[in-house]
Amino acid sequence: MPVNILMPALSPTMEKGNLAKWLKKEGDKIKAGDVIAEIETDKATMEVEAVDEGTLGKIVIAEGTPDVPVNQIIAVLLEEGEDKSAIDSPKSLSAAPEKKTARLEEMPASNAMATSTPTATVPKQASPTNGKGPGGVFASPLARRLAKQSSIDLSRIRGSGPHGRIIARDIGALDGGATMRAPKVPSTVARLTEITAGMPDEKVRALFAEDSYDFLPHDSMRKTIAKRLMESKLTIPHYYVTMDCEIDELLNAREEINSSTPKTADGKPRFKLSVNDFVIKALALALIKVPDANVSWLESGMLRHKHADVGVAVAIPGGLITPIIRHAEEKTLGVISNEMRDLVARARNRKLKPNEYEGGSSAVSNLGMYGVQNFTAVINPPHATILAVGTGEQRAIARNGKPTVATIMTVTLSCDHRAVDGAIGAELLAAFKGYIQKPVGLLA
């Protein structure tokens, strides 16, 4: 029986994707491991890889088609001995719940520094009689892994996959896995969003002569950024704490370390530290020191994170993305520097994997390189904080009752007041300042 290939959910929050390119054409033989298509999400281009063998009998969704919903049929795979006569009409393809179905589930999380191209696989279809694993539960390998990580009993879950199979999204639907998907916006907030959306397009256009502007349609990234930032400001009660940090010792340490960095075989330094590398490590250590700030808000409770996974806002063409340094508190400055260089390069080519930019416990937004003295940043859920970093500049200060000049960097911490009370936010920022002003503590 032909196998329907569905639009994959390449991350837990993905609802739609663009079918950018087919790498196989109708009639092509497909082997396990063949890359069959490229899918664009709002922030990355992903490759999908087949594990079933057969013939690509019909392409249902043409390449270049935008906003294809997750789980919509995109192609049909013919098994050995079948021909095109076995394929239903396009109308029946859009329904056909009784047909065998190959789901393209999201990639399992992997090492954040893996350099291979992200892929999603087409698992082999299993029937209710032969797909049961340990305990007699009919579930995908990814669902089993996620359930084990979250200590969830699979036997109490009703699967939404083919023939009742438990898949990854079923784990995310439980209260215990609520962080796997973006929170739903309450209807009252949705109405607020509509009210605050501004004037309708046609009224804005009417204010300007037709030949006085160029119209630039929003791409999926810009739409997603707008939606999430609006939801953040409408649903998260932000408050802000600001401190000035003296960074002369940090700058001296950075210069000394960079001048003595070991060289590779071709004579290049193994790493080159930036001020931002120190900021990432200092924030990570501060989050571990103040665990009540290293949290994510859930309606049912709080997640207190055991490690500091720090995101860093990176400007890319058309928007921004926040790749994450995992377990940043455990890594040396050199490792953080090299990871950031790799993540930034792949982010700008839209080659990051979802697990490299989703999640995390806090983030850094640094506009110091643009000469910005201070600013406030918008929290990116599921984070409860974000640190806005300004430029380092020489200012006159009083020290021991005498005027002197020091290099000062102003930082502002945005906090989610539901999760981080004012005193905790101030404690976190004070801990950060302590590490930044005495950078010897960052060199371990």
What was the pLDDT predicted at 95? 41
Query: How does pLDDT run across 100-117, given as a tens digit for each residue?
Result: 445 444 443 333 323 333
Residue 149 lies in a domain: yes
Average pLDDT, stretch 49-57? 78
Domain that holds residue 116: 3-180
> Between the ranges 11-20, 164-173, 275-284, where is the mean pLDDT highest?
275-284
Identify whether residues 163 and 243 lie together within a single domain. Answer: no
Residue 157 has pLDDT above 90, yes or no: no
Summary count for the chain: helices (H), strands (E): 10, 20
Residue 20 tokens read as 């950018």
Identify whether residues 294 and 399 lie together within a single domain. Answer: yes
> At a CB cut-off of 8 Å and minimum separation 6, what does 121 contact?
48, 49, 50, 51, 104, 105, 107
Residue 196 has pLDDT above 60, yes or no: no
Q: How confident is the model at residue 12 (pLDDT cuts 50, 70, 90)?
A: low
Residue 368 lies in a domain: yes
Residue 288 tokens read as 């571990």
Mean pLDDT of the chain: 81
Instruction: Check residues 140 and 119 and name the one with the higher pLDDT.
Output: 140
Instruction: Check residues 179 and 139 and name the one with the higher pLDDT.
Output: 139
Q: Half-sphere exposure (CA, 13 Å, Cβ side) for 291?
A: 6
Q: Which range, of 24-28, 194-198, 350-354, 430-434, averages the lowest pLDDT? A: 194-198
What was the pLDDT predicted at 77? 83
What was the pLDDT predicted at 67? 87
Give the relative orientation of helices 275-289 and 333-348 as an angle to the nearest 10 degrees.
Answer: 110
What was the pLDDT predicted at 130? 38
Average pLDDT, stretch 122-129? 36
Q: Which range, of 15-24, 134-143, 260-269, averages the lowest pLDDT? A: 134-143
CATH number for 107: 2.40.50.100
Q: How confident is the model at residue 3 (pLDDT cuts 50, 70, 90)?
A: confident
Identify whether residues 242 and 312 lie together within a single domain. Answer: yes
Q: Which range, of 5-14, 60-69, 211-220, averages the lowest pLDDT? A: 5-14
Identify whether residues 19 and 130 lie together within a single domain. Answer: yes
Strands 295-298 and 35-40: unpaired
Identify whether residues 26 and 104 lie together within a single domain. Answer: yes
The number of folded domains in the chain is 2
What was the pLDDT predicted at 2? 77
Residue 247 has pLDDT above 90, yes or no: yes
Instruction: Check residues 60 and 130 and name the one with the higher pLDDT.
Output: 60
What was the pLDDT predicted at 155? 78
Active site residue 417: yes
> Between the ranges 47-61, 62-76, 149-163, 359-373, where is the mean pLDDT highest?
359-373
Cα–Cα distance for residue pair 88/86, rounded to 1 Å: 7
- Any bridge partners for residue 416, and if so which? 238
> At a CB cut-off of 8 Å and minimum separation 6, what does 246 contact?
397, 406, 407, 408, 437
Identify whether residues 47 and 163 lie together within a single domain. Answer: yes
Residue 104 lies in a domain: yes
Query: How does pLDDT run across 373-392, given as a tens digit for each residue?
Result: 999 999 999 999 999 999 99
Residue 107 lies in a domain: yes
Q: How confident is the model at residue 162 (pLDDT cuts 50, 70, 90)?
A: low
Helix, strand and coil content of the chain, in percent to the nearest 5, comes to 30, 25, 40
Residue 428 has pLDDT above 80, yes or no: yes
Tell me the CA end-to-end span of the chain in Å, nearest whole number: 60
Q: How confident is the model at residue 122 (pLDDT cuts 50, 70, 90)?
A: very low
Residue 207 lies in a domain: no
Q: How confident is the model at residue 131 (pLDDT cuts 50, 70, 90)?
A: very low
Q: How confident is the model at residue 57 (pLDDT cuts 50, 70, 90)?
A: confident
Q: Which of 164, 180, 196 is the last residue of a domain?
A: 180
Residue 193 has pLDDT above 60, yes or no: no
- Alpha-helical (H) ranges within 28-184 are 90-93, 141-149, 168-172
Identify whether residues 92 and 10 lie together within a single domain. Answer: yes
Query: How does pLDDT run across 289-303, given as a tens digit for each residue?
Result: 999 999 999 999 999
> At a CB cut-off of 8 Å and minimum separation 6, what does 46 contact?
8, 10, 38, 39, 40, 107, 118, 119, 120, 353
Identify whether residues 400 and 261 lie together within a single domain. Answer: yes
Query: How does pLDDT run across 28-38, given as a tens digit for each residue?
Result: 888 877 888 88
Residue 185 tokens read as 């916006």
Residue 212 lies in a domain: no
Q: How confident is the model at residue 227 (pLDDT cuts 50, 70, 90)?
A: confident
The catalytically annotated residue of 163, 238, 307, 417 is 417
Q: Is 211 helix (H, G, I), strand (E, B) or coil?
A: helix
Residue 125 has pLDDT above 50, yes or no: no
Q: Is 402 helix (H, G, I), strand (E, B) or coil?
A: strand
Identify whether residues 302 and 435 lie together within a single domain. Answer: yes
Give, in degrees to the nearest 5, the angle at Cα 354 between 310 and 238: 45
Closest by CA to 57, choosing from 23, 93, 26, 90, is: 26
Closest by CA to 75, choosing from 98, 50, 107, is: 50
Tell me, letter by letter, the H, E, C secondary structure of 83-126. CHHHCCCHHHHCCCCCCEEECCCCCCCCCCCCCCCCEEEECCCC
The answer to whether the beta carbons of residues 75 and 8 sit under 8 Å apart is no
Identify whether residues 375 and 275 lie together within a single domain. Answer: yes
Complete DSSP assignment for 249-318: HHHHHHHHHHHTPPB-TTS-BS----HHHHHHHHHHHHHHHSGGGSEEEETTEEEE-SS--EEE-EEETT
The answer to whether the beta carbons of residues 96 and 4 sit under 8 Å apart is yes
Residue 154 lies in a domain: yes
Identify whether residues 268 and 359 lie together within a single domain. Answer: yes
The answer to whether the beta carbons of residues 105 and 9 sit under 8 Å apart is yes
Q: State percent of the chain over pLDDT 90.
A: 43
Identify whether residues 395 and 299 lie together within a single domain. Answer: yes
Closest by CA to 296, choosing from 284, 306, 281, 286, is: 306
CATH number for 272: 3.30.559.10
Q: Which of 136, 159, 180 is the last residue of a domain?
A: 180
What was the pLDDT predicted at 20? 87
Q: Is the link from the previous residue into 382 a cis peptide, with omega within 30 of 0?
A: yes
What was the pLDDT predicted at 126? 34
Q: Which of 138, 162, 180 is the last residue of a domain?
A: 180
Residue 250 lies in a domain: yes
Residue 90 has pLDDT above 80, yes or no: no
Instruction: Check residues 151 and 186 and name the one with the higher pLDDT.
Output: 151
